[in-house]
Amino acid sequence: MKQTTREEPVKITVLSGLGAKAPAAILIETTKVRLLLDAGGPLDPGTACEWVSDLERRGWPDAILISHDHPDHTGSLAQLPSDIPLYCTSETARALPAGRRWRALASRGEQRIAGVRVTTGQAGHSLDGVWLHLALGQGIFYSGDTCLESAVFPFDPPPTAAIALLDTSYGRYDQSLAAAQAAMTDHLKHPTVMPVPASGRAAEIALWFIDNSESTHVGDENLTRLALDEGCHQALARLLALPDTLRRPGIDARLRELLTVPPSATPHLLLVDDDGLRNTWPGFHTLHSGYLTPSRRRQVAAGEATWQRWNVHPRLTDITTLMNLLQAQELWPLFTELTPEWQRDFPLSPPAQKLAMVTPTRALHPTSEVCNAAG
Ligand SMILES: [Zn+2]
Ligand SMILES: [Zn+2]
């Protein structure tokens, strides 16, 4: 018997993450199923997230799918009913509220979740972090946080999808990671501490540092002048314990070396697992490389710390690459402020178009560069 091929209408609601750097929470609905993609907590510790009560009003979903372990994707899980089936990779499961039950999400592959065919692949951003492809309508792709430039985490090319929900955390930024690294060397003239997500960029910064002894002002003894705190060390050990297909080829020997060399007592570069709360480390210059909380923004503005981006999200060029790979017809740019340029350059979804049309009134004050530095 021939099956009808009529497509089920799909409703997409970005509960949080459209039009601003904000926690990730996306609701996908058909008449048969309701899926929540990510359950982000506040970017600035101690602030509230309103999307959970919005979701409660709409009704709890049939399943929750989590892309990766960072708090802006997992931090509201404790506020959701604990009996909703939750799918994530085992690495992401480490970030769940204590005792939260979870089901396995493939690091790379295909499975059925609440009747929906879900394909996953490595997103290139963090330890076993994945993108999600839902076989609904003509395909829905959600990148989670993604990066095409990582020297540590592979990026798997996705299947085609008409609708692309993409991480555009960097807005219109379009510099390569190589350019960011070149700029970073200037910040490493004195003993420096970098607070970093341990399961994210810590390993790549460590590899880059030991591979660039001359340009990073440290000389031949560089390996012994690097130190990782306990959190970064453990994340590195977990990275090496993953199947090697979840790492870029050719890096394992160097990663193992990083684990075995005893940390320097007087490091030139100290990588610390970032909880977003601590802002000073006596004896070290502080260098931030990602999203800045308001207190850190003030610290940078006052010259008490510096900031230099290390790419862990897509550049504008990468957004175009992703749209082409997906053959996507509609873009939902996530985690950034939308401006008319987005409307000019990409086929935006109607809700994104609406936001892009309202030109933001950005105050031009001395800290505006720092404010735009978030990410
Ligand atoms: Zn992330
Ligand atoms: Zn994120």
Distance separating alpha carbons of residues 148 and 163, to the nearest angstrom: 19
Q: Radius of gyration over alpha carbons of the chain, in Å?
A: 21
The DSSP annotation for 323-360 comes to: HHHHT-SEEEEESS---HHHHHHS-B-HHHHHHHHS--
Specify the 3-state DSSP secondary structure of 86: strand
Degrees, nearest 5: CA angle 284-313-196: 25
Q: Which ligand is nearest to the CA of 150?
A: 1
User: CB of 158 within 8 A of CB of 326?
Assistant: yes
Q: How far is the CA of 155 from the centre of ligand 1 (A)?
A: 14
Q: At what angle do helices 230-241 and 202-211 cross, to 10 degrees?
A: 90
Total length of the chain: 375
Q: How far is the CA of 169 from the centre of ligand 1 (A)?
A: 10
**Ligand nearest the Cα atom of residue 72:** 2
d(CA 201, ligand 2 centre) in Å: 13
Rounded CA separation 24/222 (Å): 38
Q: Across the strands, what pairs with 134?
A: 118, 140
Query: In angstroms, how far is CA 254 from the centroid of its own chain?
Result: 24
CA 67 to chain centroid, in Å, comes to 9
Cα–ligand 1 centroid distance for 200 (angstroms): 7
Give the C-alpha separation, 355 to 338, whole Å: 6
- What is the distance between the alpha carbons of residues 130 and 135, in angstroms, rounded to a whole number? 16
Predicted pLDDT of residue 14: 98
Residues with a beta carbon under 5 angstroms from ion ligand 1? 70, 145
**Distance from the alpha carbon of residue 198 to the mean position of ligand 1, in angstroms:** 11
Q: How far is the CA of 199 from the centre of ligand 1 (A)?
A: 9
Cα distance between residue 122 and residue 67, in whole Å: 10
Q: By the 8 A CB rule, do 73 and 145 touch?
A: yes
pLDDT tens digit at each of 375 positions of the chain: 444 456 779 999 999 999 999 999 999 999 999 999 999 999 887 788 899 999 999 999 999 999 999 999 999 999 999 999 999 999 999 999 999 999 999 999 999 999 999 999 999 999 999 999 999 999 999 999 999 999 999 999 999 999 999 999 999 999 999 999 999 988 888 899 999 999 889 999 999 988 886 555 555 554 458 899 999 999 999 999 999 999 999 999 999 988 887 777 889 999 999 988 888 899 999 999 998 989 999 999 999 999 999 999 999 999 999 999 999 999 999 999 999 999 999 999 999 999 999 865 554 443 333 333 445
Give residue 218 CA to ligand 2 midpoint distance, Å. Answer: 32
Query: What digits encode the pLDDT tens for the residues 75-96?
Result: 999 999 999 999 999 999 999 9
CA–centroid distance, 312 to ligand 1, in Å, is 8
Cα(42) to centroid(ligand 1), Å: 13
pLDDT digits (tens, 9 = 90+) for 112-132: 999 999 999 999 999 999 999
Residue ranges and CATH numbers for the domains of the chain are 11-172+314-371 (3.60.15.10), 177-307 (3.40.50.10890)
> pLDDT by residue (tens digit) across 354-372?
999 986 555 444 333 333 3
